[in-house]
Amino acid sequence: MVEHDRPAERAYLVGIASRDERTTAPALLEELRALTETLSLETVGLETATVREVSPRYYLGAGKAKEIARHARDLEADVIVFDEELSPSQQRNWEELAECSVTDRQGIILEIFADRAQTREATLQVALARYEYLLPRLTSAWSHLSRQRGGRRGTRGEGETQLEVDRRIVQQRIASIKRDLRDVEGQRAVSRRQRTELPIPNGSIVGYTNAGKSSLLRALTGSEVVVANKLFATLDPATRRLELEGGQEVLLTDTVGFIRRLPHGLVTAFKSTLEETLLAPFLLHVIDASDAAAVEHARITREVLDEIGSREKPTIQVLNKIDLVDPKALNLARLSFPDAVPVSAATGAGLERLRDEIRKIVTTAFARIDVAIPHARYDLAALIHRTGRVLEERHVDGAVAIRAEVPERTRRIVEEYTTA
């Protein structure tokens, strides 16, 4: 049997700008293009519409809406994608007007997350966010249930009777997913508690999507983690050990990339990865030095950190991808981020300085100890080496005398061997 590749669906992209946003609108529309291309949609046209007052029917004025619908039909677009969030009624009105599928930024991001989720918890969380988004939109042509029955994006529903059936199916699935999530979250709480009981300092890597967070984690730790030049390549948190000078270990966790107007449903849905950011004592904020919008993207990252209550944590700014910019552009980036550590995860430049900055930030929470560990308890000496910074070590009278800087949990474990 000969299989034929299905042609890529054709997307017409519409950016929305107020009068004050005209200068930034092209960059925002390019980001929307990157999002749709991540879903393998072919961009056949794009335009920005200026909105003076939001219309309850089409978001835009009726005249502009008809013009966009005509452009999309002329280009034989399968779907119109808006950079603003449409209400369910606006989406239905557009589909009647344009006679094709219509979705918005939130719908696109949900589809990307559904493609990227790997673990059971992430899969459940994405499914919950998608179904909650879908429920009030079941009459729309952008029908996820139809896709699951073998249709494409753009398959229309089967009528009012089927609509009621679909609505009940979605409500039942939402209830079932919430039950499953409660079970999974209980299991995660146990594993997280076991990890936090380890006397090893830990930090989270945060930043705008595609800033190179996973590449940095791999470069620092030498571990195999997924690295891809695409948006939202990492959804599930990946934790790896980093060994610093003197044998001290730190746990680093990669997190989901932030993005402008991340749907609130996904902020809630992805609390598994965002909780790692909330619980980590310190953060590595990765900024793409080659990104023309780096300043704006760093601001958006800080806003998301504010939203989840993590902005006040000790943070090391990391200016990544310095190998992709010329000296003049790099100087401009360093002026914008004067406290950042410039690095290249690809070439290794700057990584030693970054490791030193990580060591400095974790030692601020460390206590100085002087202990004499019996040879029979060398596991405790190994614990000090693994979790702290050994300043001096010598063998005396059947014990190992160690002076070190260690986290509070380690200090409590070895305090009975403290020397005067």
Predicted local distance difference test score (pLDDT) of residue 236: 56
**Where do the structural domains in the chain lie, given as residue ranges?**
10-115, 117-197, 198-362, 365-417
pLDDT digits (tens, 9 = 90+) for 147-188: 443 334 444 444 456 778 888 888 999 999 989 988 887 776
Predicted local distance difference test score (pLDDT) of residue 199: 64
User: Helices in 150-263 by DSSP H: which ranges?
Assistant: 160-197, 213-221
pLDDT digits (tens, 9 = 90+) for 250-286: 889 887 777 877 766 666 655 555 666 666 778 899 9
Q: Which amino acid is at 127?
A: A
Lowest mean pLDDT among 267-271, 348-352, 361-365: 267-271
Name the token pair of 158: 């089967």
Closest CA to 376 of 397, 399, 356: 399
- Cα of first residue to Cα of last residue in the chain, in angstroms, is 81
Residues 15, 47 contacting (CB under 8 angstroms): yes
Lowest mean pLDDT among 72-76, 159-163, 254-258, 330-334: 159-163
Name the token pair of 85: 């969030």
d(CA 420, CA 416): 11
Can 10-115 and 198-362 be said to share one CATH topology? Answer: yes
DSSP code at position 86? P
Is it the case that residue 82 has pLDDT exceeding 50? yes
User: Nearest 10 degrees: CA dihedral of 221, 226, 232, 238?
Assistant: -50
Radius of gyration of the chain (CA): 26
Predicted local distance difference test score (pLDDT) of residue 147: 43
Asked whether the whole model's pTM tops 0.85, one would answer no
- The CATH fold assigned to 10-115 is Rossmann fold (3.40.50)
**Residue 322 pLDDT grade (very low, low, confident, very high; cuts 50, 70, 90):** very high
Instruction: Report the chain's mean pLDDT, rounded to a whole number.
Output: 82
**Residue 233 pLDDT grade (very low, low, confident, very high; cuts 50, 70, 90):** low
Predicted local distance difference test score (pLDDT) of residue 151: 38
**Class in CATH terms, 198-362:** alpha beta
Predicted local distance difference test score (pLDDT) of residue 194: 60
